[in-house]
A and B are shown apart, each in its own frame.
Chain A
Amino acid sequence: MDNKTLYTIIVHSENIAGLLNQVTAVFTRRQINIESLNVSASSIKGVHKYTITCWTTPDIVEKVVRQIEKKIDVIQAHYFTEKEIFQREVAMYKVSTPEFQSNPEASKVVRRASAHIVEVNPTFCIVELTAMSNEITDLYEKLRDLNCMLQFVRSGRIAVSTSCFERVNEYLAHREERYLKEQKG
């Protein structure tokens, strides 16, 4: 299908073993390839945050998000287009120190990309870059072409929505309020 868009899906869940499996199974069932996945603690105690990117259609992403949200221990799931989020990836480039130093172009490339050199020793240097996905790829290609690359690793995407607060906070407060009201009623 041609009308596929890159979506970022943000999921908040309880921190429970096996939940990742349940979340990714929703994608597997529909044969959707996950482009990147990041799972870590959120700002709320005991709540984990998943940032998942995938190419799909508006219709399918809506259904996927609802099916993720249906999992008992998932608190909320939302999807965003590129415009609706602020997103970054982290990459580390391990380069050979002799090669790196012998070519003045190498450090220029690093500087132009606003990357940092975080470790230097006689054998290798580590360059770190926090940036958009394409910028990370760009730097990788340049360093590779300069023949100094030893190892390369990049993280999954992390993202925050451009709205002011995490909706999940409000949702949890609202849920508890409703429960207490029902108890009294």
Chain B
Amino acid sequence: MAKERITGSEALMRSLEHEGVKTLFGYPGGAIMPVFDALYDHRDKLNHILVRHEQGAAHAAQGFARVSGEVGVCLVTSGPGATNTITGVADAMIDSTPIVVIAGQVGASLLGTDAFQEVDLVGVTQPISKWSYQIRRAEDVAWAVSRAFYLARSGRPGPVVLDFAKNAQTELTDYEPLDVDFIRSYDPDPETDPKMVAEAVKLINEAQRPLVLVGQGVELGNAQEELKAFVEKADLPCGCTLLGLSALPSDHRLNKGMLGMHGNLAPNVKTNECDVLIAVGMRFDDRVTGKLETYARQAKVIHLDVDPSEIGKNVRVDVPILGNCKRTLALLTELMQSHKHTEWIDSFAPYAEKEYEQVIRPEVFPGKGPLNMGEVVNAVSEATRREAILVTDVGQNQMMACRYFKFAKQRSIVTSGGMGTMGFCLPAAIGATFGCPGRTVCAFMGDGGLQMTLQELGTVMEQQAPVKLVLMNNNYLGNVRQWQAMFFNKRYSFTPMMNPDYMQIAAAYGIPGRRVMEREELEEGIREMLDTDGPFLLEVCVVEEGNVLPMTPPGSSVNDMLLELDC
């Protein structure tokens, strides 16, 4: 293909199109104006969603990426525009979400002079991104963009930051599309040691009480079918991490529920009873392991991960299996024997029943008293026939949503796991509607989180993004309040919160809404929300001092879950 002389901004547009980008989330500003000017001529191919704050752009890109499996893209200006995306970049890093943030930067001649809206973005983002790079010359655009997308989506995905100096946006360059698919210092799919595979197969074949921990790596590696074949062949019960919840259908007979602090009782207790623990694409976060000194000490641990630095990071590993789990799971499945673990699997049931009686039934079917969060989540999940995408904010709403929402389809959960970013939900849900336009997106949030990125209702309005917003309002920063009740003698230091009239806010943005205060109205409210085309805000006034249970208190062992609180 003949080379053509174009501006750096135009080269960026063509490079994005070459990478298959169709949607970007952004906000213009001084140092990115030449790029936005070029974008004006590419509006037919590149759908730019104007957010109301750059943090919203980053979270929207995350939501887009998580449900679609494609790279989410943000386009922002220098200085504050760039720093406003930082929370999203850090969130995408710890949750392995492929996004590319393209930020304007002052011209190369002004770099380092404390110029207007100059910030050392590469310096700021290096520790919280997979790669960050400053483009100072127009001729580097094609290479940098291609490398950025390759890095963001390959191996363990993550955020990449491109800091685009203004001179490089306007200078002319010879453009030719480029495809980076090899970096000699970077191995996206490390080689699997056959000896380790043999050892893992032996352990699995001989296991009497195996347990599989399903992480987001299964979704990221697109290995949902391989996982199913693996666990079905050897009859392996599973617990899912927060981000791995939709990697295996909720009603699969081997899916024993959610791991972690507010997860299900059975998989947590059984973690400390199993003889072989098989972790797939998960990173033994402290919210999953509880007290490390007592975590699965009795078990041989097999860890499948694409990232060598995860092996042995928190939990000692007996058999590491490196590589993409789509490949390694298939390899193990092929080599291992079929098995039945009926007795072991049956031993989960009493714990599930106990949890149901003591926690789930009173939460989901209380019959009287104020509405519960779990009740609301369950009702929405059933009304969407378990086929919707769940987006959550952070806190009690998140734990309740993840406990009681059920999944039939893969890539159906979008939540801020590692960072626990309040305010994540609304913009991420907007992004999800663009990532999977055909699917229903249900966004559960609390009154605290909604107000952190409330401005994105403007984006919802302008785009008519069909988000089903479920605000579970308890007039508290509920999760912190619960901890204050448990560990700080009920001293509710700055957790009660005065709320605005959300119906008036929705109305101001032209978003239809309904407030539900009574149990009798809940079903009808949900029906109205789902039957309404486009966005809808359902505010449900829930019990003020509700608690998320069960709970492994911080510093406790996973098998020491509390089913009730004495405070």
Contact = CB atoms under 8 A, between A and B. Distances in A.
A21 B126 contact: yes
A70 interface: yes
A128 to B, nearest CB: 36
Interface in B287-336: 307-309, 311-313
Nearest to B182: A179
B313 A175 contact: no
Interface string B93-123: 0000000000000000000000000000011
B185 A13 contact: yes
Given A21-B123, A25-B126, A175-B184, A72 B151 contact: yes
Contact of B184 (A21, A25, A67, A172): A172
Nearest to A172: B184
B130 interface: yes
Interface string A167-185: 0000010011011000000
Range for the number of chain A residues in contact with chain B: 20 to 34
Contacts of A13: 185
A72 B123 contact: no
Contacts of A176: 184
A21 B311 CA distance: 24
A81 to B, nearest CB: 19
Given A22-B126, A66-B308, A72 B186 contact: yes
Given A13-B185, A67-B309, A176-B184, A72 B126 contact: no
Interface in A19-60: 21-22, 25, 29
Contacts of A70: 307-309
Nearest to A178: B191
Nearest to B314: A63
Contacts of A6: none
Given A21-B126, A72-B131, A72-B151, A63 B312 contact: yes
A67 B308 CA distance: 9
A66 B126 contact: no
Contacts of A72: 130-131, 151, 183, 185-186
Nearest to B160: A72
B187 interface: yes
A72 B313 CA distance: 19
Interface in A132-185: 172, 175-176, 178-179
A176 B183 CA distance: 9
A25 B186 CA distance: 19
B370 interface: no
A111 to B, nearest CB: 46
B185 A75 contact: yes
A63 B312 CA distance: 8
A14 interface: yes
B222 to A, nearest CB: 18
Nearest to B310: A66
Contact of B185 (A25, A62, A66, A73): A73
A99 interface: no
Nearest to A63: B313
A69 interface: yes
Contacts of A178: 191
A147 B123 CA distance: 45
B458 to A, nearest CB: 36
A14 B185 contact: yes
B308 A69 contact: yes
B316 to A, nearest CB: 9
A73 B183 CA distance: 8
Contact of A18 (B126, B184, B311): B126
A74 interface: yes
A66 B123 contact: no
B362 interface: no
B127 interface: yes
Contacts of B182: 179
Nearest to B122: A18
Nearest to B132: A18
Interface string B149-190: 001000000000000000000000000000000111111000
Interface in B436-495: none
A69 B127 CA distance: 14
Contacts of A29: 127
A84 to B, nearest CB: 21
A79 to B, nearest CB: 14
Interface string B80-93: 00000000000000
A175 B187 contact: yes
A75 B127 contact: no
B127 A25 contact: yes
Nearest to A74: B185
A72 B180 CA distance: 14
Contacts of A74: 185
Contacts of A175: 184, 187
A172 B182 CA distance: 12
A62 B312 contact: yes
Contacts of B131: 72
A75 B185 CA distance: 4
Nearest to A73: B185
B470 to A, nearest CB: 38
Interface string B175-210: 000000011111100010000000000000000000
Nearest to B309: A66
B260 to A, nearest CB: 23
A133 to B, nearest CB: 30
Contacts of A63: 309, 312-313
A14 B183 CA distance: 10
Contacts of B127: 22, 25, 29
A75 B187 CA distance: 9
Interface string B1-16: 0000000000000000
A67 B182 CA distance: 21
B160 to A, nearest CB: 9
Give the interface centre of B123, B127, B184, B313 by most chain A CB atoms within 10 Å.
Answer: B184
In the A-B complex, the 7 residue pairs with the closest CB atoms: A66-B309, A75-B185, A70-B309, A179-B182, A72-B131, A72-B186, A67-B309
Given A25-B126, A75-B185, 20 more contacts: A21-B123, A22-B126, A62-B312, A63-B313, A66-B308, A66-B309, A66-B311, A66-B313, A69-B309, A70-B308, A70-B309, A72-B130, A72-B151, A72-B186, A73-B185, A74-B185, A172-B184, A175-B187, A176-B184, A179-B182
15 contacts: A13-B185, A18-B122, A18-B123, A18-B126, A21-B126, A22-B127, A66-B309, A67-B309, A69-B308, A69-B309, A72-B130, A75-B185, A175-B187, A178-B191, A179-B182
Interface of A: 13-14, 18, 21-22, 25, 29, 62-63, 66-67, 69-70, 72-75, 172, 175-176, 178-179
Interface of B: 122-123, 126-127, 130-131, 151, 182-187, 191, 307-309, 311-313
